Structure 1
């Protein structure tokens, strides 16, 4: 599989550590396209370039493009499913694309519905979690395969990096949503997140794509932790999505490490 220009990556990573601007030579310009859902668009990180899709200047794709000095096409969109990626996003890819990042799958399995069930007082959310897990195991692999195959077809020489999802909850107390999510429910949600990660990782590996597992990066920074990088239940922002700190300190280093 085609790799990004080594000189461009080394220069970007080194200069980033020195807090100096990245200066890419014209012949080494990286053509980068970011696909995916709200965890890629930056919902919850703000401010947004596109209100409808909530594409944030503080999302990890935006930060990565700046680090690499890349020519950047940002088409990830909050609420996107694999069908949306195929219908509305992959058209941004061309034979000239050098780098693709994509995070997708959570909306296909109804993860938001499972979270909503868990934050609803006096509601048993285990059936919703189990249904999400069933979809992850039985339906999502084929959907991911279709997306990844289309990426390979449209951008055959691109380096493709697939990003996963963090576990949401610290599962040590019931601080969130007025205590309506029990520790047991938090643990059960985290188990579901682990299954989702495993499915995405396996699908990525089948195509030779790099998989970025951010669960370790977010450990100690989940909802209800002392320093959360994720929004919990909130009416003023996008709940259960990474804050700007989650993109900067969680996703960005993990993606750079994969490159």
Structure 2
């Protein structure tokens, strides 16, 4: 049994069997939680940041989850991270005492930002960039994710691991974003690419017995160009095409709680 589940079971059994004075009650074990990943995990775009370089936000879903669980929290997710970055540095925060791990990674490995950039560039066909990102997702990313997930298993064999996916970016109902340079067809094509990435991450995580947390349903109706977007569109004042604070609190956070 995972330590996370075991701790909950022990606590429930203890409460059911015996009542003791508060002063005599033993402290419940504190949950040891480590958050790994890229900008969608660090909270780029959500602000404010405790780490300006990695853009770790107090409003990011790992921070919200740690507060909800009252966990001992190690936050090492970093904007711009790839699977290589996770292996080179972030996994060092894991050990045999880790109870819970969340990780969202893969978008930077397939050049998803380059595909977005191509689509917001006027008079440029972004289909080749999306197709290249999809190729990397299906042909190269599985092995990279397998290496990361294997390392997590090795370092924290008893941990409960939640793997977060990415939302579809666009509502695909009008051309509100990037001064109208992204057509509805391009928005739909980007969303198809996001689905390809999600499928790859889900398959890889489930191969390791991890729980995949799909946030696409939560973000439906809240994409860029929707009436109430939880994602930044093209902006010079924040991190474009990343979740706002509302995307973390109303999208990722409840999805994670549901998975737990």
Judge same fold: TM > 0.5, yes or no: yes
> Judging changes above 3 Å, is the alpha-carbon distance between structure 1 residues 186 and 97 closer, same or farther for their aligned structure 2 residues?
same
Q: Write out per-residue CA displacement over residues 158-216 of structure 1, whole angstroms, 9 at most, x where no aligned residue.
A: 00000000000000000000000000000000000000000000000000000000000
- Shift, 1:88, TM fit: 1.1
State how far apart, in whole Å, the 1-side matches of 2:126 and 2:222 are.
Answer: 23
> Judging changes above 3 Å, is the alpha-carbon distance between structure 1 residues 148 and 75 closer, same or farther for their aligned structure 2 residues?
same
Aligned residue for 1:167? 168
State how far apart, in whole Å, the 1-side matches of 2:59 and 2:65 are.
Answer: 10
Aligned residue for 2:2? 2
Segments of structure 1 that go 5 or more residues without pairing to the other structure are 11-24
1:58 match: secondary structure = coil
Q: Write out per-residue CA displacement over residues 121-174 of structure 1, whole angstroms, 9 at most, x where no aligned residue.
A: 001100000000000000000000000000000011100000000000000000
- Shift, 1:27, TM fit: 3.0
State how far apart, in whole Å, the 1-side matches of 2:67 and 2:56 are.
Answer: 15
Contact 2:41 2:103 in 1 (8 A): yes
2:34 match: secondary structure = strand
Structure 1 runs, 4 residues or longer, greater than 3 Å off: 7-10
1:33 match: secondary structure = strand
State how far apart, in whole Å, the 2-side matches of 1:8 and 1:112 are.
Answer: 45
- Shift, 1:8, TM fit: 9.2
State how far apart, in whole Å, the 1-side matches of 2:212 and 2:77 are.
Answer: 17
Aligned residue for 2:110? 109
> Judging changes above 3 Å, is the alpha-carbon distance between structure 1 residues 34 and 85 closer, same or farther for their aligned structure 2 residues?
same
Aligned residue for 2:18? none
> Judging changes above 3 Å, is the alpha-carbon distance between structure 1 residues 180 and 76 closer, same or farther for their aligned structure 2 residues?
same
TM norm structure 2: 0.92
- The count of residues paired between Structure 1 and Structure 2 equals 245
Aligned residue for 2:93? 92
Q: Write out per-residue CA displacement over residues 92-145 of structure 1, whole angstroms, 9 at most, x where no aligned residue.
A: 001000000000000000000000000000011000000000000000000000
Counterparts of residues 178-193 of structure 1 (less than 5 Å):
178-193=179-194
Contact 2:11 2:28 in 1 (8 A): no
Aligned residue for 1:146? 147
Counterparts of residues 1-259 of structure 1 (less than 5 Å):
2-4=2-4, 5-6=7-8, 26-259=27-260
Which protein is bigger by CA-based radius of gyration?
2
Contact 1:8 1:68 in 2 (8 A): no
State how far apart, in whole Å, the 1-side matches of 2:94 and 2:227 are.
Answer: 40
State how far apart, in whole Å, the 1-side matches of 2:166 and 2:3 are.
Answer: 24
> Judging changes above 3 Å, is the alpha-carbon distance between structure 1 residues 250 and 85 closer, same or farther for their aligned structure 2 residues?
same
TM norm structure 1: 0.93
Q: Write out per-residue CA displacement over residues 51-95 of structure 1, whole angstroms, 9 at most, x where no aligned residue.
A: 000000000000000000000000000000000000010000010
2:47 match: secondary structure = coil
